[in-house]
Every structure is written in structure tokens, then in C-alpha cells.
Structure 1
């Protein structure tokens, strides 16, 4: 498990309803971080249906979901679970911490 946190951005750079991407250098995993009404969530930036970046799709702050632009699979940003076909498997959720006026995340899978 990685103990190294990845810097995403300054807190002021990720407003409610926005998302930012980051790259975990230790595990070579792309991560997308969301500001959902002042709560921060991070998911692996990879659709579980087909290996494609979720961040290219649409984040809907109202429903707290992101839709993969490739085939329309949707995922809950709070826990990564799949919300509709063609995805039946969720995506990995990662921890987020706020420290030194910045947002940090990491791939904490073993």
C-alpha cells in the first residue's frame, strides 16, 4: 500500500461541481478528484466497462455521478459503484485529504 500522497491541486483550484485529474507516481494509476458541494471524492480515472478515462466524460454534480463518454456507463462519485449498464463493476475509490490548503489523494490498494 502506498503511503505517499499525490498532490492534486490547491483547494482554491477545485470549486464545487468541478473535477481534476492526478497521476499516482507510485502505482502509475490515473485518479480523478471531485468537489461535490465541499466534500471531496477520488476515483480511479478508468471506466470498469472498457479501459477509458472517466474524466473525459460528464460529471453531474446534481446526481453525484460521472458518465463515461465512450458507452454511457455511469458511476457514483462517492463510492465508485456502477449505476447503469454497460458497466456492472464499480471503479476503485481512493482516500482524499486536505492539508496545507491543498488536496491530496493516493492509490491505497495493496
Structure 2
């Protein structure tokens, strides 16, 4: 497992961008349903999804307002059509890890 951040580093209902060496950036989302990790880059453009609006489990791309279901990565708003890659997050002792 790879350490990403502290749960407390991510505000409730918000996201945090995580930059790791030799990997695409990730986004850690803290939602009422739990902690979720996705790729941070929108599949429609090069926008950072951690900077997007989050509402009811959906993140809206800050560039073109396309949207993705955070838990599944499924696109749910045009112009996004390619699913967002999701990753398995493990939370232990207040820390968020990426399960590889």
C-alpha cells in the first residue's frame, strides 16, 4: 500500500490532489459515503478534477462542466464520455492509502 494523505487533510465534501513520483496525479475525495481515489485528470481534457465542484457524489470538471460519478468513475455529464479511472482506497488510523 502507498500512503497518500491524512483523512483530515481533505475537508468533508472536498478533494485533494496528490502528486506522486512517476505516476499521474490522483484525487482523494472525502464524501459522506467514504474516501474515494480517482485519477485527478479529466478524461476529456487536462483539467484537475480536485479543483472541480462536488455535489452528491459527482465531480464536475472545472473546464467544460463534464461530470463523473466519484465512486464508479462513470461519466454522467457531457462532454465527458470516457470513464475516469478509480482506485481502491484503504483508510487506517486516520491515514489514506492506495491499494496497489
* TM-score (normalised: structure 2): 0.86
1:17 maps to 13
Structure 1 stretches of 5 or more lacking a match? Answer: none
Aligned to 2:90, what secondary structure does the other structure show? Answer: strand
* TM-score (normalised: structure 1): 0.80
2:3 maps to 6
Structure 2 stretches of 5 or more lacking a match? Answer: none
1:53 maps to 48
- CA RMSD across the alignment: 1.7
2:89 maps to 96
> Any conservation in 2 of the 1:6–1:22 contact (CA below 8 Å)?
no
Q: Which has the larger radius of gyration?
A: 1
Shift >6 Å, 4+ stretches: none
Q: Distance in 2 between matches of 1:42 and 1:82?
A: 15
Give 1:76's match in structure 2, choosing from 69, 72, 76: 69
> Any conservation in 2 of the 1:21–1:31 contact (CA below 8 Å)?
yes
2:82 maps to 1:105:
no
Q: Distance in 2 between matches of 1:15 and 1:57?
A: 14
Deviations 1:29-80 (A, max 9, x none): 10111111151111100111112211121111xx210101111100001111
Q: Kindly tell me the number of residue pairs found equivalent between the two proteins.
A: 100
